[in-house]
Amino acid sequence: MISGKWFKRLLATSAATALLASGALANEQRYIIATASTGGTFYPVGVGIATIASLKLAKDHKMTFSAISSAGSGENIDMMEKGEVNFSIIQGLFGSMAWQGKGSYEGKAKKNLRSVTMLWQNVEHFTVTSDIAKTGNIMDLKNLYGQQFSISERNSGSRVSGEVIMDGLGIEYSKMNLQYLGYTPSSTAMQDRRIKGMNTPAGVPVSAVTNAFATIGGDRIRVLSFTPEDVEKANSVYPVWVPFHIPAGTYPGQKEDINTIAQPNLLVVTEDTPEEVVYLLTKTIYENLPFLNTVHQATKAMSLENAIGGLPAPLHKGALRYYREQGLTIPDRLILE
């Protein structure tokens, strides 16, 4: 994972690149990538993508990119629809719901949504204090009834995915004293003993979880595990989760392996975004994966071979063009020309 010092340097580079480009280029095209709260994985990876894209495309193609923090998947889709941002990183669950018109999007399917690429797996981290984690299993969430629990921001994909998982498991989150905090505020609230647990799905390692383990101590908090039966129940409505193993030692003081679940994350755009823009961004991402790997280790799961696996919405024609050039076999469901 990227260090705090290195990440600040990356942010400065991104800002400087955009500033120089905007001052030096006539008629430059500026594009915004919506991510999520700063304590997760969406934000640093979004900044990384914006940085490398600006560095590679500003001079010859007059394109600059910037990443912004947000409440997550739900807000990102809303902002794209309003034209406030151009690209978004979202959860696979939200992409599926939005494209099909299910769940939060019942009767209002987002048929303008297009996929660019699969990114990495969004790993579920239900982190609770040791007095709540009586068995270490996800069903310990029932011990939070009447207790303070941060389910993430109201308009975030994290909140929705958490609710979908708990619904499948028969856990009544309405009985909890729910807080709607971003990742970093959730971690701070746990450290201050203002909440008993938090929901922070992201690529491993999650900085908000790392900070909580480092400050509180690995013997006083725990990320809850799922059994195979739990995974099946969680997938009862939207079968997007798969088992995911977090080895002991991933987080400070974490002495035991964690068997949790994960869903895919993806980069999306609207259909009306110019083909050349999406083509060049997709090409830049895959020609510069080593750079992104220095931003966050979750991106090490990214590869051209995995780029179109599990995408819930058709490919944008710019991304489709790039993948065809690379010789990928594109399934019919991802083609709308």
Task: Indicate the pairing of strand 197-199 with strand 148-150.
Answer: parallel
pLDDT value at position 19? 45
Mean pLDDT of the chain: 91
Using DSSP, state whether 39 is helix, strand or coil: coil
Q: Is the pLDDT at 14 greater than 80, yes or no?
A: no
Indicate the pLDDT class of residue 79, thresholds 50, 70 and 90. Answer: very high
Structure token digits, residue 313: 């919405």
Location of structure tokens 């895959």: 286
66 shares a domain with 21: yes
pLDDT of 208-258, one tens digit each?
999 999 999 999 999 999 999 999 999 998 888 989 999 999 999 999 999
205 preceded by cis ω (within 30°)? yes
283 shares a domain with 178: no
Structure token digits, residue 307: 């780029």
Tell me which residue range forms the domain holding 102: 4-120+265-334
Q: Tell me the one-letter amino acid at 140.
A: D
| Whole-number Cα distances in Å, 101 to 94, 104, 107, 273 | 10, 8, 6, 21
153 shares a domain with 212: yes
Instruction: Give the phi and the psi of residue 17 in degrees, each rounded to 5.
Output: -60, -50
Residues near 160 by beta carbon (within 8 Å), at least 6 away in sequence: 73, 74, 93, 94, 97, 103, 104
Q: Higher confidence at residue 10 or residue 12?
A: 10
* 150, β-bridge pairs: 179, 198
Q: Rounded distance, CA 122 to CA 95, Å?
A: 13
pLDDT value at position 22? 45
pLDDT value at position 26? 55
243 shares a domain with 203: yes
Mean pLDDT of 145-173: 95
pLDDT of 32-74, one tens digit each?
999 998 888 899 999 999 999 999 999 999 999 999 999 899 9
The residue length of the chain stands at 337
With CA atoms as reference, report the closest residue to 46 among 78, 11, 79.
Answer: 11
253 shares a domain with 197: yes
With CA atoms as reference, report the closest residue to 87 among 308, 281, 268.
Answer: 268
Using DSSP, state whether 30 is helix, strand or coil: strand
Residue 310 is part of a domain; what is its CATH number? 3.40.190.10
pLDDT value at position 240? 87
193 shares a domain with 295: no
191 shares a domain with 77: no
Mean pLDDT of 173-180: 98
Continuous H helices in 25-135: 42-61, 73-81, 92-100
Of 233, 263, 293, which marks where a domain is finished? 263
With CA atoms as reference, report the closest residue to 113 among 142, 140, 80, 150.
Answer: 80
pLDDT value at position 2? 44
**In the chain, beta strands by DSSP E:** 29-34, 63-68, 87-91, 113-123, 126-129, 148-150, 177-179, 197-199, 221-223, 242-246, 258-270
Number of H helices, E strands in the chain: 11, 11
Give the chain's domain count.
2
Structure token digits, residue 230: 């739990």
pLDDT of 83-124, one tens digit each?
999 999 999 999 999 999 998 899 999 999 999 999 998 999
Q: Rounded distance, CA 242 to CA 65, Å?
A: 33
pLDDT of 302-320, one tens digit each?
999 999 988 999 999 999 9
pLDDT value at position 258? 98
pLDDT of 270-293, one tens digit each?
999 999 999 999 999 999 999 999
Residues near 11 by beta carbon (within 8 Å), at least 6 away in sequence: 47
What pTM was computed for the model? 0.80
Of 225, 246, 263, which marks where a domain is finished? 263
Of 200, 234, 263, which marks where a domain is finished? 263
pLDDT value at position 183? 94
145 shares a domain with 202: yes
185 shares a domain with 91: no
Using DSSP, state whether 165 is helix, strand or coil: helix
Indicate the pLDDT class of residue 182, thresholds 50, 70 and 90. Answer: very high
245 shares a domain with 157: yes
Q: Rounded distance, CA 260 to CA 241, Å?
A: 10
Q: Rounded distance, CA 212 to CA 143, Å?
A: 20
Q: Is the pLDDT at 156 greater than 80, yes or no?
A: yes
Q: Higher confidence at residue 35 or residue 156?
A: 35
85 shares a domain with 203: no
pLDDT value at position 92? 93
299 shares a domain with 182: no
Environment class of 228 (CB within 10 Å of its CB; exposed 0-12, middle 13-18, buried 19+): exposed
pLDDT value at position 39? 82
